[in-house]
Structure 1
């Protein structure tokens, strides 16, 4: 184990052991380096690594603190993995997304609030207006698509599932843009699928919500392009 890994492991044990909690300030650099048996240089490298992972937050002139450890912040490494492998492993990532969101939809059907149902309905109406335009703004449709899935995942009540869904679904813009541009009727099917999910959620039908979400995401998964078909991102 490298010295940097020792720092990462040592701070991790301090957090999991209850010595440090969300928002707590780490001991001063000299004391922490001595406790972990590393040099100050190694300690700084370890702190930088933990900062990248969303575990620590270094504030200039104030010290280093444990973050709120929110799952969404801790999934940054997953988002990087999707960015690096999205084009070559899009179907694999979407298979994981399908499993997660299918369960999230079932959970959401039992607990979704009237306010969230109204918000999801408004998103669907916005997406419908986008599809009625000529030409269709595919990027705007994807934004509405993403928002609908985010609402469903969040209403499932499991922040880890929400973070994982956001880490995967939120980073696959190019593949979904390719589908909208090249597969006739794909976005219209997506809209119908979303409306069917919404109806199941509104009825409190957990199994129906699961089935509708699984069918929708399986359709998306099977239509994803191969790596050589994905177009360069127009925003890059």
Structure 2
């Protein structure tokens, strides 16, 4: 193990064991280095690394402190790295969202109050007839973040923030705009909101699954993944609109949700949702 890695591990053990707690100030550099059996240079490198991932907070002239260790704070570094994912891996991030976000939406159905639901609706209402992509991204981010926060689980909310930041959402919305699917996408937002207002956790879960699975398949098509064209439910040789022609969907990854099956679960395809939208 490299000397700096050893220093990081020793500081980590002090925090995990409870010797250092959130908000605690670290001992003076010379004292801590002697206590841990490290050189001061190795200790400085370890502190620098841990501050970058928001474990420690270095305050000039005041000392070094353990941060609050809140999930959102600790996952910020992961979100920064996630923004660098390549286009071809974007659907894989959506696939993870497809697992997590419907659960968060179902949890929010019993927790969001009327004031919070009104705020979500007002954000959707504020969009004009032809909003620019920046406005769509901002609205999308606030809408889904508000629902995730309503789940009452800060770890789940932070993970979803990491998986679907502004960079990822901008990529998805550009595909939606190119294919003229804005109305269908916003319809799915309204359907999710309607299920939340009805306090119907299973309908909210199902509409969230439709919404994200649609975006996942739309991205796969835009990226022209290898494979035979398929319709939503995976039948080979049939295109998205049910005819043999342009715009084939590519096969979803193994285990991907069937959009058709989920739509049937919530009572039909729904007006304007035949090709789905963004997440």
1:80-229 map, 5 Å: 80-127=80-127, 129=128, 132-133=129-130, 136-170=131-165, 171-184=167-180, 186-224=181-219, 225-226=222-223
Where 1:57 maps in the other structure, the secondary structure is strand
Q: How big is each residue's C-alpha offset from its partner over 1:99-154, in whole Å with a ceiling of 9 and x where there is no partner?
A: 11111001101111222111111111123x2xx13xx3121011101110000000
Distance in 2 separating the partners of 1:17 and 1:8 = 14
1:11 matched to which residue of 2? 11
Find runs of 4+ consecutive structure 1 residues off by over 6 angstroms. none
1:27 matched to which residue of 2? 27
Where 2:138 maps in the other structure, the secondary structure is helix
Distance in 2 separating the partners of 1:156 and 1:86 = 30
Distance in 2 separating the partners of 1:7 and 1:49 = 10
Residues 1:227 and 1:85: Cα distance change in structure 2 (over 3 Å): farther
Query: Higher RCO, 1 or 2 (CA under 8 Å, sep at least 6)?
Result: 1
Where 2:64 maps in the other structure, the secondary structure is strand
In structure 1, list runs of 5 or more residues that go unmatched: 229-236
Distance in 2 separating the partners of 1:177 and 1:204 = 28
Q: What is the CA-CA distance between 1:75 and the residue it aligns to?
A: 1.1
Distance in 2 separating the partners of 1:66 and 1:24 = 5
2:61 matched to which residue of 1? 61
In structure 2, list runs of 5 or more residues that go unmatched: 226-279
Instruction: Say which structure is richer in helix.
Output: 1
Q: What is the CA-CA distance between 1:155 and the residue it aligns to?
A: 0.4
Identify which range, 110-119 or 48-57, moves more after superposition. Answer: 110-119
Where 1:172 maps in the other structure, the secondary structure is helix
What TM-score, normalized to structure 1? 0.89
Where 2:83 maps in the other structure, the secondary structure is helix
Distance in 1 separating the partners of 2:71 and 2:86 = 21
How many residue pairs get matched? 222
Greater Rg over alpha carbons, structure? 2
